[in-house]
């Protein structure tokens, strides 16, 4: 199948061809683990998972890297405020290292509940301090840095094309500056290494040639992606909020150090909106995947909802929308379960589906092909085999779904699904927690070679 993808760098949909035959390097900006991920964050990972599945459908071997930011991401993109990990530590009363581990495990639980394919590697920023120091030293040798009282900064004025990814109006930014610049020379300059505050000790800090401190957020991804994929790879992904600062700064650093824009394609998922506003952790009322599970919503129903909107369009989250997604998924599962196996996929429907997902991941149109197939007069076994092909991209696990007894409440069924994901990921602590949660709801779950067995808890 042909594949064309939208590239934020060129602002065009252009044909995709890997830099190395049959191999694709894919880097996706991962979570900052100072708090739980919300469903807006997770929408981006669903888009990236679909991208990887489509690449695999094209026969490519994908080296997929998702980083864990566990230090250095300040509360302000302007390098102001404190590290989000330190802030999270103060909020929870736990150490920064403890909350990094706790929220990483929570994120991985959400990841598996949404049936996202496991990446090739999960590099952590704190495990790559030497690589970051080496990268910064190279920038210093090339004359791209300057030092202030609070850190070492990247001089963006050295690059005439700085901010091209976001089409930044640099003159306008300078004219409209309303923030304290401190010792920064330009409003676009950004920190490579921040010094630890005087007369205080951070929980996460390291020695460097410039002073004891911690890395800037942007240098982490440049260093980790270059280590795991090289300084010039196929695709870099993230949310649309990364375009103007984080990804622009990644490109600036890599151009200065390696002479590349890091990735051949830059791809960005758009926001999930809640009540006409972007969902954000700073609001304090963000919706977690676990929130939906507690309301009886299957995590894969949220995945289905994400598939109903193109990744480059805004998706509005409402109670009506998630309920409709759950109903659609239930209808699809029931139809699939009623069809016998042993058939052969219909080539016409396969070509149409592949054409839609190959045109910049047009999942809404691909779903339309799916439902046309469901309603068609093709033999039932043919429909099932064709849907099996579709599900390699959709990731709804239709072949693994089992009907539970009709008297099992929806919230219990949803918890059971999440627990199975935890077991599959060997997250035994989370599996135990969910067993206790089911017990509190009056249900006993036992593990067997054939899966989970659920029964009323007779106390």
Model confidence pLDDT, tens digit, residues 243-302: 999 999 999 999 999 999 999 999 999 999 987 677 666 656 689 999 998 888 999 999
Q: Is 379 exposed, middle or buried (0-12, 13-18, 19+ CB in 10 A)?
A: middle
Distance CA 307, CA 43 (A): 9
pLDDT of 203 reads: 87
pLDDT of 117 reads: 97
SS3 62: strand
Distance CA 226, CA 132 (A): 10
- Tell me the CB-side half-sphere exposure of residue 347, using CA atoms within 13 A: 0
Residue 233 banded pLDDT, cuts 50, 70, 90: very high
SS3 61: strand
CB-based contact 386:346 (threshold 8 Å):
yes
Dihedral sign from CA coordinates of 192, 198, 203, 207:
positive
Q: 19-33, 151-165, 395-409: which has the minimum mean pLDDT?
A: 395-409
The distance from CA 428 to its chain's CA centroid, rounded to whole angstroms, is 23
Distance CA 220, CA 135 (A): 9
Across residues 200-223, what is the average pLDDT? 92
Span 449-458, pLDDT tens digits: 556 778 777 6
339 pLDDT higher than 90: yes
User: Judging by DSSP bridges, how do beta strands 262-269 and 232-239 pair with one another?
Assistant: parallel
Cα angle, residue 303 at apex, residues 301 and 307 outer, rounded to 5°: 110
Rg, Å, the chain Cα set: 24
Q: 70-84, 223-237, 263-277, 301-315: which has the minimum mean pLDDT?
A: 70-84
Report phi then psi at 432, rounded to 5. -65, -40
Span 414-446, pLDDT tens digits: 888 888 888 877 888 888 888 888 888 888 888
Distance CA 308, CA 296 (A): 20
- Find, among 376, 380, 379, the residue nearest to 368 by Cα: 376
Average pLDDT, the chain: 91
């Amino acid at each position: 199948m042909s594949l064309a993808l939208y590239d934020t760098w060129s602002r065009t949909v252009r044909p995709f061809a890997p830099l190395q035959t049959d191999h694709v390097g894919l880097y996706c900006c991962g979570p900052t683990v100072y708090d739980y991920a919300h469903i807006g964050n997770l929408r981006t990972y669903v888009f990236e998972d679909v991208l990887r599945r489509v690449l695999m459908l094209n026969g490519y071997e994908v080296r997929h890297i998702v980083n864990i930011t566990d230090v250095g991401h300040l509360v302000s993109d302007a390098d102001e405020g404190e590290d989000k990990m330190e802030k999270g530590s103060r909020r929870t009363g736990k150490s920064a290292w403890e909350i990094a581990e706790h929220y990483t495990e929570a994120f991985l639980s959400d990841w598996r509940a949404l049936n996202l394919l496991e990446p090739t590697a999960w590099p952590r920023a704190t495990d790559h301090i030497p690589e970051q120091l080496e990268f910064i030293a190279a920038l210093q040798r090339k004359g791209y840095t300057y030092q202030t009282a609070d850190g070492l900064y990247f001089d963006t004025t050295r690059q005439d094309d700085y901010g091209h990814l976001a089409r930044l109006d640099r003159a306008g930014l300078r004219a409209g500056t309303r923030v304290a610049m401190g010792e920064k020379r330009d409003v676009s300059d950004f920190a490579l290494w921040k010094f630890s505050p005087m007369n205080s000790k951070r929980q996460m800090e390291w020695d460097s040639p410039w002073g004891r401190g911690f890395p800037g957020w942007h240098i982490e991804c440049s260093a980790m992606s270059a280590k795991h994929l090289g300084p010039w790879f196929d695709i870099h992904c993230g949310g649309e909020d990364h375009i103007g600062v984080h990804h622009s700064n990644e490109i600036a650093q890599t151009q200065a150090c390696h002479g590349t824009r890091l990735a051949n394609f830059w791809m960005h998922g758009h926001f999930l909106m809640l009540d006409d506003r972007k969902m954000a952790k700073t609001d304090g009322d963000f919706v977690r995947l676990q929130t939906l599970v507690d309301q009886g919503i299957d995590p894969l129903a949220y995945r289905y909802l994400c598939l109903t909107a193109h990744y480059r369009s805004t998706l509005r989250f409402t109670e009506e929308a998630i309920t409709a997604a759950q109903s659609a998924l239930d209808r699809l599962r029931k139809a699939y379960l009623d069809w016998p196996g042993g058939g052969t996929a219909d080539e016409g429907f396969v070509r149409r589906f592949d054409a839609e997902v190959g045109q910049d991941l047009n999942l809404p149109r691909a779903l339309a092909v799916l439902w046309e197939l469901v309603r068609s007069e093709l033999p039932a076994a043919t429909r099932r085999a064709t849907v099996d092909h579709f599900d390699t991209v959709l990731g709804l696990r239709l072949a693994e779904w089992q009907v539970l007894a009709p008297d099992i409440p929806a919230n219990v069924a949803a918890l059971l699904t999440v627990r199975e994901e935890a077991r599959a990921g060997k997250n035994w602590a989370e599996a135990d927690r969910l067993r206790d949660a089911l017990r509190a709801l009056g249900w006993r779950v036992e593990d067997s070679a054939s899966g989970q067995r659920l029964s009323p808890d007779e106390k």
